[in-house]
């Protein structure tokens, strides 16, 4: 940048500040400055636009979902096998740690407690958001392979044609095709929903392509069902709400437990019942669960530290 | 600087009297062919406020009105050219011709932008971050901020310049990325 450009930029910046509390004389001076050189307006407007954007964002409250910088739980395979299961929680940025890791790269583990949500960037730039009570493992050597051991994660994948992003979830693998998608794992049960792009679901001989608005539920017994979901409702838990269209109550109960941090179980009589509707999570757990029960038409009662849903 | 306003004139009277000067301001600000259109828009705003309390300084009010109308247009042009950072979408300020309901990914970016801006301000350190927020968000004049924090006005000004320079650099770098 030349000295003249630099000076003009400084002056433009001064005007952005000064015009915040300008009287008529200030405005006349600003007008004269603009008139002195057409480069002045060219320098001023981008700064004024950036200033307005910054102010608009600052005027917004921070989004309601609590987001804490991820502290990966580092776990060394050889250490775990040979010595003792140290799963020390070490506050280290993933990227930093990646470059420092010598030789064979051990797995990196991300964990959240129930009721807690977290977001992070993976080394390849993929954004991941973790719902409560979730455990996600980055497989050491390959930054494009992750394993969802339990819970729910939403991925916004940086697509690379030469290196598909693969999520292992139980017996299945999900291959992204440039994608935003959400995955839930509850034991052997899996639910996938796609907001953008596409995901290839693979399990043994099964291979299904899921497009935006498609969701897939794999029951604990291996049965696979597909359904539709509004793309805007994929990973709605990130905005502290849950949306369902004909979803078994077992899965709703599991979602509530993940989101509130309180165990929610189901009477066997309710097994197989389905729910359609939207739930908000911005309230204390007992209020969230009471409202959800009312909407689902079931009764919620205390059960030890948690809640049990039963026929009303 | 501050003319004493014994009996403030109405916005309409000042607008009509200083029309040429205001139109010239828009031209010098680079409004080009849009200048007349912006004047018309300003006039409609003024008419819609008839009967309300008149501002103390009608001329500076009019300058600001035109300035902000021009800024709004520029911002919505930039926004439609930059689909993926539509942070205004979730504030309810809808832009004509775009969808009301942001899709999931746009929404995520919007949330991220909000977080990122808050974080960028915090990263300025203190007292710079507080001075910036008081000035830009709370609309407090530099002299008052200086009194509140027990600092000299020139110190406050120095912090403000540093804050604006850093944030605006940061913001335009994100746009280019």
Range of the domain at A41: 3-59
Q: H-helix or E-strand containing A151?
A: strand A145-156
User: In angstroms, what separates the C-alpha of B87 from chain A's closest C-alpha?
Assistant: 7
Residue B66 lies in a domain: yes
pLDDT of the residue at B168: 84
Write the pLDDT tens digit of every residue in A130-147.
888 888 888 777 778 899
The yes-or-no verdict on residue A278 having pLDDT over 90 is: no
How large is the ipTM?
A: 0.79
Total number of domains constituting chain B:
2
pLDDT of the residue at B29: 94
**Number of C-beta neighbours around residue B91 at 10 A:** 13
Q: How many CB pairs under 8 A join A and B?
A: 145
User: Which residues share a beta bridge with A269?
Assistant: none
Q: Does residue B77 sit in the same domain as residue B134?
A: no
**Chain centroid to CA A183: how far?**
10
User: In angstroms, what separates the C-alpha of B177 from chain A's closest C-alpha?
Assistant: 13
Would an 8 Å CB–CB cutoff place A35 in contact with chain B? Answer: yes
Q: Does residue A141 sit in the same domain as residue A245?
A: no
Q: Does residue A218 sit in the same domain as residue A113?
A: yes
Q: Does residue A113 sit in the same domain as residue A16?
A: no
pLDDT of the residue at A96: 31
Q: Does residue A209 sit in the same domain as residue A78?
A: yes
pLDDT of the residue at A33: 96
The yes-or-no verdict on residue A309 having pLDDT over 90 is: yes
Subunit contact A56:B167, Cβ cutoff 8 A: no
pLDDT of the residue at A106: 67
User: In angstroms, what separates the C-alpha of A195 from chain B's closest C-alpha?
Assistant: 7
Q: Does residue B75 sit in the same domain as residue B130?
A: no
Range of the domain at B168: 123-176
Residues of B in contact with A195 (CB under 8 A): 103-105
Q: Say which residues have a Cβ less than 8 Å from residue A232's Cβ, sequence separation at least 6.
A: A195, B101, B102, B103, B104, B107
Q: Judged by CB atoms within 8 Å, which residues 65-94 of A form the interface with B?
A: 67
Q: For chain B, 177 residues long, give each residue's pLDDT as a single digit of tens.
A: 444 445 668 888 899 999 999 999 999 999 988 899 999 989 988 888 777 777 888 899 999 999 999 998 888 776 655 443 333 233 233 333 333 333 333 444 466 677 788 888 888 888 898 899 888 887 888 988 898 888 899 999 999 999 988 888 887 776 665
Query: What CATH number should be reported for the domain holding residue A93?
Result: 2.60.120.1440
Q: Which of A78-87, A125-134, A245-254, B29-38 has the highest mean pLDDT?
A: B29-38
Q: Does residue A172 sit in the same domain as residue A118?
A: yes
The yes-or-no verdict on residue A175 having pLDDT over 80 is: yes
Q: Which of B47, B81, B115 is the last residue of a domain?
A: B81
Q: Does residue A107 sit in the same domain as residue A196?
A: yes
Average pLDDT for chain A? 78
Residues of A in contact with B78 (CB under 8 A): 49
Q: Does residue A174 sit in the same domain as residue A279?
A: no
Residues of B in contact with A232 (CB under 8 A): 101-104, 107
Distance in angstroms (rounded) separating the CA atoms of residues A168 and B11: 66
Q: Does residue A246 sit in the same domain as residue A226?
A: no
User: In angstroms, what separates the C-alpha of B105 from chain A's closest C-alpha?
Assistant: 7
Among B60, B160, B161, the residue with its CB nearest the CB of A22 is B60
Q: Judged by CB atoms within 8 Å, which residues 188-247 of A form the interface with B?
A: 195-196, 231-235, 238-239
Query: What CATH number should be reported for the domain holding residue A298?
Result: 3.55.50.30
The yes-or-no verdict on residue A243 having pLDDT over 90 is: no
Query: What CATH number should be reported for the domain holding residue B168?
Result: 1.10.10
Distance in angstroms (rounded) separating the CA atoms of residues A143 and A160: 12
Q: Does residue B75 sit in the same domain as residue B128?
A: no
Q: Does residue A228 sit in the same domain as residue A268?
A: no
Q: Which residue on chain A is closest to B159 by alpha carbon? A: A17
Q: Does residue B70 sit in the same domain as residue B128?
A: no
Distance in angstroms (rounded) separating the CA atoms of residues A113 and A233: 23
Q: Does residue A103 sit in the same domain as residue A55?
A: no
Residue (of B84, B89, B81, B168) closest to A50 by Cα position: B168
Would an 8 Å CB–CB cutoff place B79 in contact with chain A? Answer: no
Q: Does residue A87 sit in the same domain as residue A134?
A: yes
Is there a contact between A279 and A300 (Cβ–Cβ < 8 Å)? Answer: no
| Chain A interface test: which of B9, B68, B69, B108 (most A C-beta within 10 Å) | B108
pLDDT of the residue at B111: 63
Subunit contact A54:B136, Cβ cutoff 8 A: yes
Write the pLDDT tens digit of every residue in A29-68.
999 999 999 999 999 998 898 888 888 877 766 554 333 3
Q: Judged by CB atoms within 8 Å, which residues 111-150 of B form the interface with A?
A: 111, 113-118, 121, 133, 135-137, 139, 141-142
Residue B95 lies in a domain: no
Among B108, B117, B135, the residue with its CB nearest the CB of A20 is B135
pLDDT of the residue at A60: 66
Total number of domains constituting chain A:
3
pLDDT of the residue at B154: 92
| For chain A, percent of residues with pLDDT exceeding 90 | 14
Distance in angstroms (rounded) separating the CA atoms of residues B30 and A180: 41
Q: Does residue A272 sit in the same domain as residue A179?
A: no
Subunit contact A16:B135, Cβ cutoff 8 A: no
């Amino acid at each position: 940048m030349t000295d003249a450009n630099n000076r003009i930029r400084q002056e433009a910046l001064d005007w952005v500040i000064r015009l915040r509390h300008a009287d008529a004389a200030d405005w006349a001076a600003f007008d004269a400055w603009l008139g002195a050189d057409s480069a002045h307006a060219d320098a001023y407007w981008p700064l004024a636009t950036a200033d307005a954007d910054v102010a608009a964002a600052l005027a917004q409250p921070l989004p309601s979902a609590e987001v804490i910088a991820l502290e990966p739980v580092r776990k060394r395979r050889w250490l775990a096998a040979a010595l003792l299961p140290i799963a020390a929680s070490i506050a280290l940025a993933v990227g930093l740690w990646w470059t420092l890791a010598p030789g064979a790269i051990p797995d990196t583990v991300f964990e959240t407690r129930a009721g807690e949500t977290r977001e992070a960037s993976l080394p390849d730039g993929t954004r991941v958001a973790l719902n409560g009570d979730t455990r996600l493992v980055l497989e050491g050597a390959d930054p494009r392979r992750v394993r969802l051991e339990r819970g729910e994660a939403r991925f916004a994948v940086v697509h690379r044609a030469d290196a598909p992003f693969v999520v292992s979830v139980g017996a299945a693998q999900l291959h992204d095709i440039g994608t935003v998608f959400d995955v839930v794992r509850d034991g052997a049960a899996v639910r996938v929903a796609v907001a953008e792009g596409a995901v290839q679901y693979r399990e043994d001989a099964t291979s299904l392509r899921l497009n935006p608005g498609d969701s897939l539920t794999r029951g604990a017994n291996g049965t696979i069902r597909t359904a539709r979901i509004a793309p805007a409702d994929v990973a709605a838990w990130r905005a502290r709400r849950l949306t369902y269209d004909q979803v078994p109550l077992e899965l709703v109960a599991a979602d509530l437990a993940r989101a509130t941090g309180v165990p929610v179980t189901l009477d066997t009589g309710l097994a197989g019942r389905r729910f359609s509707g939207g739930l908000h999570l911005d309230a204390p757990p007992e209020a969230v669960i009471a409202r959800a029960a009312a909407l689902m038409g079931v009764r919620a009662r205390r059960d030890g530290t948690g809640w049990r849903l039963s026929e009303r | 600087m501050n003319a004493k306003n014994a009996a403030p004139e109405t916005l309409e009277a000042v607008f009509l009297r200083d029309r040429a000067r205001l139109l010239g301001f828009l031209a010098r600000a680079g409004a080009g062919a849009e200048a007349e259109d912006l004047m018309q828009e300003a006039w409609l705003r003024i008419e819609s406020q008839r009967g309300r309390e008149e501002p103390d300084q009608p001329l500076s009010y009019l300058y600001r009105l035109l300035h902000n109308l021009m800024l709004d247009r520029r911002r919505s042009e930039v926004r439609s050219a930059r689909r993926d950072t539509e942070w205004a979408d979730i504030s309810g300020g809808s832009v004509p011709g775009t969808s009301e309901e942001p899709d999931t990914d746009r929404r995520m970016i919007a949330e991220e932008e909000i977080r990122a801006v808050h974080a960028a301000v915090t990263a300025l350190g203190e007292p710079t971050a507080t001075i910036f927020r008081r000035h830009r968000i709370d609309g407090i004049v530099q002299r008052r901020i200086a009194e509140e924090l027990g600092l000299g006005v020139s110190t406050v000004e120095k912090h403000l310049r540093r804050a604006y320079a850093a944030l605006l650099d940061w913001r335009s770098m994100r746009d280019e990325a």
